[in-house]
A and B are shown apart, each in its own frame.
Chain A
């Protein structure tokens, strides 16, 4: 049996991490174009607001306070705009927090399925079953208890 060379394997591991670090840096650099596009849109769009601000008519000497009221279909607004509110369908939002993450986890499996042995699919199908059953149970319970 070949003796395990701890020192050599450490070097190999450092080399591996070093290489991987470079690759991570490169892959992060490819995201910079998304940010550049985001920044370009901001730079291209912000002048529209500035120009609009410059050329639009606005009576600064006699400002009209009625203009600053929130829109309530011509009525005098009653109460504050941000009040206590009834958060309807809250159960769906709670379910989203769980199932969105689970759906994204499935992509880690889906993008590597061609490299994996076929037996690895069975646990994932069990996972899908648990996910689907949990979703069905949550929907059933929330409907039965009428918690919308």
Chain B
């Protein structure tokens, strides 16, 4: 039971509030307003319905339903929204948070436990928020002889590198990707190459023995499994002839590549588990051998950030698997083509008796409506689905496939034991590399026997 502090004086309380308000005003005036003005100077303001958007117009239109929609749309199609929300950081962090909760519940069910149970009314659904509050209010303890700047920066760099990885993943048709690069796949390899560096840096900077052992293990593991990871995707590149991830997805509109290259998919999945440091390859943070591996000296929010980064990385790897082997957003649309009226304004179904009170009206989905020309094409029968409908369907398919792959990444943790490091390196160097060579020759065979590729049978 909490009481007000014994030295409580109303005057002190008021003074504290006034102090805080004073500092907030000073900070806003000195930093906030100049920052907004610099941003307005350099940022491109959108033109909506022939008028340049100003702050005054934006505030006015927010309360005008007819104008709020174009305003929100112009925000959704801006770069900042892509980076912060949908294919970018917000989407990835949301899936990462869901993954953490599902993993804890699923592992508990596999081991006949109940898992998080008390926080939140339904099955401990607020456990994650509680953990976040706990982590953020814990003291951060750093070893006295640690290399402080690098030690502080390492978790932030880990999350930011994982976010840079997410930015390369195409999520939905129509260019819903943060950075659409011509050499997207090579950029992915470049970003993956940063993770061992961050791991070893943080391990060395901690000036402690267990992190150091974990960092050396992480170095070996990530370095060894990078070659099978790279070679196993070469087959897909040979058959599509492109390194752009969106084009790789579009090349799978008829069949996903996993049908023709199951060996490559298996090798990639195994290498992915090793890069993610997940059981059976979680040697860098083997909690029953070397306390927590390279995470030993992290405490409080720093540990939380590394966990967030590793789950964002998990999402990015699962999404990469979906994009390359499972066809990304491609898949049948599981609803009939919708009318223009259903999407833009909503339907009005009058009652049988003509009673105005029994008229049913549905809301529209005007955020996802398409170009007016597309509606005309759909009415003429030349276009089956408009872009907005394909977008919704693509996102649903992508999320479903990604969640399935994440499930298969989580599953071994409840099933397999950890393997020894020499066995791990043996698997990586002797078996996976050989299998990925086999995969390259399967791809070449499919190309040169005329089954796939330009002018092929399929």
Contact = CB atoms under 8 A, between A and B. Distances in A.
Interface of A: 27, 30-42, 44-46, 48-49, 51-53, 55-58, 65, 67-73, 77, 80-82, 85, 87-89, 92-93, 95-96, 99-100, 103-104, 106-107, 110-115, 118, 121, 128, 132, 135, 139, 148
Contact of A111 (B143, B152, B207, B237): B237
B218 to A, nearest CB: 13
Interface string B212-254: 1000100110011011001100100110011100000000000
Contact of B181 (A31, A107, A111, A113): A31
Given A93-B223, A113-B241, A106 B83 contact: no
Contacts, number: 206
30 contacts: A31-B179, A33-B79, A33-B178, A36-B83, A37-B167, A38-B167, A40-B83, A41-B164, A46-B156, A49-B302, A51-B136, A52-B136, A55-B137, A56-B138, A57-B139, A68-B143, A70-B207, A70-B209, A71-B296, A81-B209, A81-B212, A82-B212, A100-B230, A104-B189, A106-B440, A107-B186, A111-B241, A113-B241, A114-B453, A121-B444
A68 B141 contact: yes
Contacts of A58: 139
Given A31-B179, A41-B160, A49-B305, A70 B421 contact: no
A96 B224 contact: yes
Interface residues of B, number: 83
A71 B297 CA distance: 7
Interface string B147-184: 00000100110011111101110000000001111100
A92 B143 contact: no
A100 B226 CA distance: 8
B163 A38 contact: yes
B98 interface: no
Interface of B: 79, 82-84, 88-89, 135-145, 152, 155-156, 159-164, 166-168, 178-182, 185-187, 189, 191, 204, 206-210, 212, 216, 219-220, 223-224, 226-227, 230-231, 234, 237-238, 241-243, 291, 296-297, 300-302, 304-305, 308, 421-422, 425, 429-430, 433, 437, 440, 444, 447-448, 453-454
Given A89-B425, A103-B230, A111-B237, A37 B212 contact: no
Contact of A92 (B136, B137, B209, B223): B223
Contacts of A96: 223-224, 226-227
A95 to B, nearest CB: 8
Contacts of A65: 144
A56 B297 contact: no
A45 B166 contact: no
Contacts of B219: 93
Contacts of A88: 216, 220, 421
Given A31-B179, A70-B143, A37 B425 contact: no
Nearest to A73: B291
B79 A82 contact: no
A135 B437 CA distance: 12
Contact of A148 (B204, B231, B238, B422): B422
Contact of A34 (B79, B178, B440): B178
A55 B433 contact: no
B242 A45 contact: no
A38 B164 contact: yes
Contacts of A103: 227, 230-231, 234
List of 3 A-B pairs having minimum Cβ-Cβ separation, nearest first? A68-B144, A70-B208, A41-B163
A45 B164 CA distance: 14
Contacts of A110: 234, 237-238
A81 to B, nearest CB: 4
A92 B220 contact: yes
Contact of B137 (A38, A42, A52, A128): A52
Nearest to B312: A41
A27 B159 CA distance: 26
A143 B408 CA distance: 34
The interface centre, meaning the residue of B160, B300, B302, B437 with most chain A CB atoms within 10 A of its CB, is B160
Given A42-B160, A107-B234, A115-B241, A37 B88 contact: yes
Contacts of B305: 45, 48-49
